[in-house]
């Protein structure tokens, strides 16, 4: 049954069985993929500090975070709606609400559309319309381009589809300044180049899942050695882009040290993955999840440095 199979909509929400409101709310929250949203917000707030060159208005930060959360939640919910057929095949996604039937496809679609409207109006009315437009563009790109077009058709799906995940840096900057500049564009490039070496190790781990669902992730259609080489190439490019922020964004030593140390550890781990791939290691020995988990740590360190650097500059001036 395909993602757009009308027969799927015949599956109504489960009949009442004693499960209360808390359970139902939890299932709808699960559709929004909160862990992914957390990662997106990590790249939003620090950029607001950088754009303000200090501590921005608490209300503005909260309003931007709420709007960003609603927008990302909408995108992830609509992604679950469109991907419910492959989620049912893949072991790691088999417990999602649309697969288990705790939320009906029609209800999920309505929920995603309501979140889309709410996020667009929230950001437009309470932040600014540029931030609202950027968030909506990210949502439409993720759902319409990545999920509907690229994911099932090309091994480069996550490369180009990952552009949607880069948009929070632009939203955060525009929320403070009402405009865009080269500094957030460089950070956009960092996150864009980070996405493949972040996601491909996960795809290595779950290669059989993706193959069973006929999703042509790079590790499914290429040997691990090929994937590892591309992971290394993107890792080096990502670190180079992160260092470019020093002159473009007028960053100080805190950011420079954070970018160099975290970037070095990332590249070392990427080369370890390549070495194990050259030895012909399988997924268990390859340990791709080491790089996957560290990639999250890397992004956190880098963007914490983005936030702290301008604060330290203010303290020095005082």
What confidence tens digit (pLDDT) does each residue in 201-220 have? 999 999 999 999 999 999 99
- Is residue 125 situated within a structural domain? yes
- Is residue 296 situated within a structural domain? yes
- Is residue 171 situated within a structural domain? yes
Give the model's pLDDT for residue 16.
42
Domain tally, the chain:
1
Range of the domain at 275: 29-317
If you average pLDDT over residues 234-246, what whole number do you get?
Answer: 98
- pLDDT at 13 exceeding the cut of 90: no
- Is residue 14 situated within a structural domain? no
Give the model's pLDDT for residue 92.
87
Rounded Cα gap, residues 169 and 152, in angstroms:
27
Rounded Cα gap, residues 210 and 208, in angstroms:
5
pTM for this predicted structure: 0.91
Taken in order 53, 62, 241, 271, the sign of the CA dihedral is positive
- Is residue 3 situated within a structural domain? no
Give the model's pLDDT for residue 89.
92
Q: What CATH number corresponds to the domain at position 259? A: 1.10.600
Task: Give every CB contact of residue 221 below 8 A, 6+ residues apart in sequence.
Answer: 155
- Is residue 202 situated within a structural domain? yes
Q: Nearest to residue 52, comparing CAs of 190, 168, 178, 186?
A: 178
- Is residue 2 situated within a structural domain? no
- Is residue 247 situated within a structural domain? yes
| DSSP conformational letter for 6 | G
The mean predicted confidence, pLDDT, of the chain is: 91
Rounded Cα gap, residues 136 and 62, in angstroms:
18
- pLDDT at 291 exceeding the cut of 80: yes
């Amino acid at each position: 049954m395909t993602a757009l199979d009308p027969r799927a909509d015949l599956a109504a929400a489960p009949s009442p069985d004693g499960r209360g409101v808390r359970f139902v709310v939890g299932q709808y929250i699960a559709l929004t993929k909160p862990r992914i949203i957390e990662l997106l917000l990590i790249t939003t707030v620090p950029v607001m500090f950088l754009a303000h060159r200090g501590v921005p208005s608490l209300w503005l930060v909260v309003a931007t975070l709420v709007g960003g959360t609603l927008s990302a939640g909408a995108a992830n919910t609509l992604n679950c709606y469109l991907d419910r057929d492959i989620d049912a095949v893949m072991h790691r996604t088999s417990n999602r609400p649309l697969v288990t039937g705790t939320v009906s496809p029609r209800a999920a679609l309505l929920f995603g559309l309501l979140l889309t409207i709410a996020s667009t109006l929230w950001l437009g009315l309470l932040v600014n319309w540029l931030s609202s437009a950027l968030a909506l563009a990210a949502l439409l790109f993720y759902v319409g381009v990545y999920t509907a077009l690229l994911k099932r058709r090309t091994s480069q799906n996550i490369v180009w589809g990952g552009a949607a995940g880069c948009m929070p840096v632009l939203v955060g900057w525009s929320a403070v300044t009402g405009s865009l500049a080269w500094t957030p564009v460089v950070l956009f490039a960092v996150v864009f180049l980070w996405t493949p070496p972040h996601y491909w190790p996960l795809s290595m781990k779950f290669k059989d899942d993706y193959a069973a669902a006929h999703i042509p992730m790079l590790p499914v259609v290429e040997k691990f050695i090929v994937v590892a080489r591309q992971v290394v190439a993107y890792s080096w490019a990502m670190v180079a882009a992160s260092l470019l922020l020093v002159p473009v964004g007028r960053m100080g030593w805190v950011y420079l040290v954070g970018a160099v140390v975290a970037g070095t550890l990332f590249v070392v781990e990427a080369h370890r993955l390549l070495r194990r791939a050259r030895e012909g290691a399988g997924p268990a020995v390859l340990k791709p999840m080491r790089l996957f988990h560290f990639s999250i740590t890397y992004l956190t360190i880098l963007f914490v440095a983005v936030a702290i650097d301008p604060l330290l500059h203010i303290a020095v001036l005082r």
